Structure 1
Amino acid sequence: MNSRAAIGVVVALAAAGVLCLGGIGYGQVRAYLAAGQQPAAGAPGCGAAGTAQVRVAGTVKVPGFTAEQAANGRTIVQVGQQMAVPPRGWVIAVATAMQESNLHNLGDLGARNDHDSLGLFQQRPSQGWGTPQQVMDPVYASRKFYERLLKVSGWQQMPLTVAAQRVQRSAFPNAYAKHEPKAAALVGAVSGGADLAGQQPGQCAAPAEVTAGGWVNPVKASVGSSFGPRGGRLHAGVDLITARRTVIRAASAGTVIKAVCDGATARARGCDVDGSPSTPGCGWFVDLQHADGVITRYCHMIQRPLVSAGDHVAAGQQLGLVGSSGHSSGPHLHFEVHLHGDRSSKGAINPVPWMKNHGAPLGGTA
């Protein structure tokens, strides 16, 4: 394959005052941009379009990508913008191309070719994707990918690997997930922050809307007790104060690990009554396993959760209702984020910066 001429990635930072975090998170985007770049006038925010095109503000390179890969990623994003595909679709498309071609526009590889697969997405002319010349055109190939993605019912709430597989029908259906973090970073860089504008054109992220990175605010509620030491032990999450029976949503797609009455609560007084500051345990709670060893926890539900261990849930799917079971002095959701697959307090991190950097900041009023 002949390499395309090396070009820089043209990006523009969103203006510093734009905090409508519907995408990957402003901090993550900034980390992938070279120092000294100036924001472009009219940077994307929560305006009428929501899918603003990239503005020229200097030439930078994106760490971890060659100029060719970044240019192909930029093409995929721009086609998605032109088609008014929500930013989540851009991440899915870029991650798919990373798996299929490593973001190279591959021609016929001879004996090493997989059947008649060609181009960024390894689309097969024999399977109705277009002529060989068409699927070798990155713009055409990207458009065909998005056309099929948009026909998948509920694709925005699906785990990335599921949505990609519904389009690609790959022999390795779980391979796409590993590319999601890097794809999200590339999308944030080459879109100049346009992915921060919200999931739907003209809207900021609402509680049940999925960000480009695949995250959702579990409840829109004010933050009460914060993460950190409390009474000689770690308060391993934050308390989101809201009304009894407020809907609790999955913060991201994943698999239910536990959906039970905490054993300590069950032994003390059970989970079907309000707890107290002297009652131990989480009450009715759910643990979800997400990609890359991330776990989220949802405590103090009012009744048995609506999901069970082993269930696969979509981002934003209802898990249960806010209550006050377990170690609780009033209705609220106790929400935790754990890393490295560690459900203990050692794996817990402060969920406030985590959710902000993933485009679904905690806080606000219901």
Structure 2
Amino acid sequence: MNDHGREAGAPARRRQLRLGALAAALTAALTLLCCTGGTAAFFLTELSGGADDSSAESLSSCGQRHEVNVSGTMPRVAQYGDGQIRNAAVIIKVGSDMKVPPRGWVIAVATAMQESALRNLPHLGSQNDHDSVGLFQQRPSQGWGSPEQLQDPAYASRKFYEKLVKIPDWERMPLTRAAQKVQVSAFPDAYAKHEELASKIVDALAGGAARTVQISQRSICNAAARGQIAASGWTAPIPGGVGSGFRTAQRPSHNGVDIAAPKHTLIRAAATGRVLVARCDPDHSGRKSCDVDGWPNKGGCGWFVDMLHAGGYITRYCHMIVKPRVAPGQLVTAGEVIGEVGTSGNSSGPHLHFEVHRDGDRSSAGAIDPVPFMRDRGAPLNEKA
């Protein structure tokens, strides 16, 4: 299949740079820099596995399973020290013991990252929000428990999960919304920026659990598709297999991958995010002619959408058959339908051209290979299908 072979909106490089700068500005509050290192010293046990789909893996094959040891050596994760990662391990173990799906672990860890930086904080006087204490800054005066109880990381974690699992459809909510319904924070949008690193922490401590999705009450690894959301918060935009790959020798300027699918196949948002662009991309002649089938060398992305996600990531969805179902500025949840597969623009047949960009950069400089990116988040593009 032939794609546009250029950046969407290419008629004016200056305009593209302005849009890239806008995306960068919009992500400033969400972008975080993180790195992981070392080897996880322990993983969670007693997690269910197995699947009828041979392309999926049980949680046990996401990584080795060992006895939980919250007093042992902790892996190094980004800026967090041994004690902070140990607190994250307690949060995860309590969630596992309570049979909360791994998506809840990511939400809980991200919440504690925002509330306390994973530190078990005592009452800090004027620096506290009223009488808040502990990992989740829960308030004794609001019925969470006594100050002594809330300074116990296991107790505080259990109280968080007890409230989380009572929220209808919490597993499909954006992390920020689910966390806010538990915490009722004065800064409800602050949790989202921690989702990326919280997923890395859960993966490091729990054998890749952030890559799992709940199927038939089992935690299945690398199977997030068709609107099912992995614990990391990501899902494959459409089912299918990758044909033309990222920046191949034959197509070095191909900044994404092509996934073949019939016309009108529903395209879903790969993660919760805000729509940056939803429009018809002009062809090489500058004409906007997206309501007809495209052809090779026509130029342009056709009908397409760009979305900004937590961590400064941008996803792009090209060649839709009709105008996208979303509009610029709209907040879209993971798995929500944003359009339909088509062949508008520079295309020789129906498919989705899918791109991932980092650092809020919509240009080719920000493009990264979507295949390993999505696989690491438990939502593989099934490139071998």
Q: Which range, TM-score by smaller chain? A: 0.7 to 0.9
What 5-or-longer segments of structure 1 have no aligned partner?
1-29
Aligned partners of 2:133 and 2:139 also within 8 Å: yes
2:70 matches 1:55: no
Whole-Å separation in 2 of the counterparts to 1:61 and 1:143: 22
2:342 & 2:285 partners in 1: Cα distance?
15
After TM superposition, give the deviation of residue 32 of structure 1 in Å. 4.0
Partners of 2:325 and 2:116 in 1: how far apart?
40
**Where do 1:85-234 residues align within 5 Å?**
85-200=100-215, 201-204=217-220, 205-207=223-225, 208-228=227-247, 234=253
Larger relative CO (CA 8 A, sep 6+): 1 or 2? 2
CA distance, structure 1, for counterparts of residue 99 and residue 312 of structure 2: 32
TM-score, L = length of structure 1: 0.82
| 1:157/1:253 contact within 8 Å kept | no
Could you tell me how far 1:255 is from its partner in structure 2?
0.3
Counterpart of 1:202 in structure 2: which amino acid?
Answer: R
Write the letter of the residue equivalent to 1:125.
Answer: P
TM-score by length of 2: 0.78
Conserved 8 A contact 1:99-1:176: yes
- Structure 2 residues without counterparts, runs of 5 or longer: 1-34, 53-57
Question: Are 1:288 and 1:297, in contact at CA under 8 Å, matched by a contact in 2?
Answer: yes
C-alpha displacement of 1:263: 2.2
Return closer, same or farther for 1:179/1:319 CA change in 2, 3 Å cut-off.
same
Aligned partner of residue 222 in structure 1, secondary structure: coil
> Does the 8 Å contact 2:48/2:218 carry over to 1?
no
Cα drift, residue 340 of structure 1: 1.3
Given candidates 304, 310, 331, the residue that maps to 1:291 is 310
Q: In the alignment, is the contact (CA less than 8 A) between 1:46 and 1:197 conserved in 2?
A: no
Task: Tell me how far apart the structure 1 counterparts of residues 328 and 257 of structure 2 sit (CA, whole Å).
Answer: 24
Shift of 1:232: 6.9
Measure the CA separation in 1 of the matches of 2:169 and 2:270: 16
What do residues 266-325 of structure 1 show as CA deviations (whole Å, max 9, x unaligned)?
Answer: 954611111111321111111001112211000011111111111100011101111111
1:67 aligned to 2:82? yes
Change in 2 beyond 3 A, CA 1:186/1:40:
closer
Q: Distance in 1 between matches of 2:263 and 2:200?
A: 37
| CA positional deviation for 1:166 | 2.2
Contact kept in structure 1, 2:356 and 2:367, CA below 8 Å: yes
Q: Does the 8 A contact of 2:371 with 2:383 survive in 1?
A: no
Please give the secondary structure, in 2, of the residue aligned with 1:97: helix
1:99-156 deviation line (CA, Å, top 9, x unaligned): 2122222222234332111111011122222233332232221122122222334433
Indicate the SS of the match to 1:228.
coil
**How many pairs were matched up?**
335
Two-structure CA RMSD over aligned residues (Å): 3.1
Q: How does 1:5-44 map to 2 (within 5 A)?
A: 32-34=37-39
Q: Which stretch has the larger CA shift, 232-241 or 105-114?
A: 105-114
Residue among 29, 47, 50 paired with 1:46: 50
Shift of 1:203: 4.8
**Deviation readout 1:188-215 (Å, 9 max, x if unpaired):** 1222334444335325334122112211
Q: Confirm or deny: 8 A CA contact 1:33 1:61 kept in the other structure.
A: no
CA contact (8 A) 1:240 1:363 kept: no
Deviates most, 151-160 or 316-325: 151-160
